[in-house]
Structure 1
Amino acid sequence: MTFYYWTQQTYEPSSKLKLVDVDEVTYFEDWLVFDSKGEGQTKGGIIIYPGAKVEPEAYSYYGQELSKHGYFVAIPNVRLNLPILEIDKADEIIDKYPSVGNWFIGGHSLGGVAAANYAKNHSDVITGIFFLGSFPSENSDFSNTSIPILSLFADKDGLTTLDKIDESANLLSENTVMKEISGGNHSQFGVYCEQKGDGEATISVVEQQNIVIESILDWVNNE
Structure 2
Amino acid sequence: MAVIWEHKWKILLGVALAITAIIWLLLRSYPAGSLADDAMAGEWSDVKDENGAIRFIAEGEPLGHVMYYPGGLVRPESYSYLASQLAEAGVETWVIPMPLNLAVLGISRGEQALGLIGGSPVVIGGHSLGGAMAARFAKDHEDQLDGVFFHGAYPDEGGRLDGTSLSVLSIQMEEDRVLNSESYEEGLGYMPDAFFEEWIEGGNHASFGDYGPQRGDGEATISHEEAVEQIVDLTVDWLESLQ
Same fold (TM over 0.5): yes
TM-score by length of 1: 0.90
Q: 1:32 matched to which residue of 2?
A: 54
Alpha-carbon distance, 1:187 to partner: 0.7
Q: CA RMSD in A?
A: 2.0
Q: Which residue of 2 aligns with 1:168?
A: 187
Deviation at 1:16, TM superposition (A): 6.9
- 2:70 aligned residue: 50
Counterpart pick for 1:126 among 116, 131, 145: 145
C-alpha distance 145-16 of structure 1, shift in aligned 2 (>3 A): closer
Partner of 1:197: 216
Alignment of 1:55-204 (within 5 A): 55-97=75-117, 99-204=118-223
104-113 or 87-96, which deviates more: 87-96
Q: CA deviation at 1:7?
A: 5.9
CA deviation profile, 1:153-198 (whole Å, cap 9, x unmatched):
1121011144443332111112200011111100111111111000
Structure 1 pair 17–103 and aligned structure 2 pair: CA distance change class (3 A): closer
Return the offset for 1:144.
Answer: 3.4
Pairwise CA distance, 1:20:
2.1
Change (3 A) 1:116 1:21: closer
Structure ranking higher in helix proportion? 2
Runs of 4+ aligned residues of structure 1 deviating over 6 Å after TM superposition are none
Q: Any stretches of 5+ residues in structure 1 without a counterpart?
A: none
Query: What is the alpha-carbon distance in structure 1 between the residues aligned to residue 149 and residue 115 of structure 2?
Result: 21
In the TM superposition, what whole-angstrom CA distance separates every residue of 1:49-98 from its partner, at most 9, and x where no partner exists? 0001101111112221211233221001111110111111111011123x
How far the C-alpha of 1:102 sits from its partner, in A, is 2.6
Q: Percent identity?
A: 31
Q: Name the CA distance, whole Å, in 2 between partners of 1:131 and 1:30.
A: 22
1:218 is matched with 237
3-state SS of paired residue (1:139):
helix
Structure (1 or 2) with the larger CA radius of gyration:
2
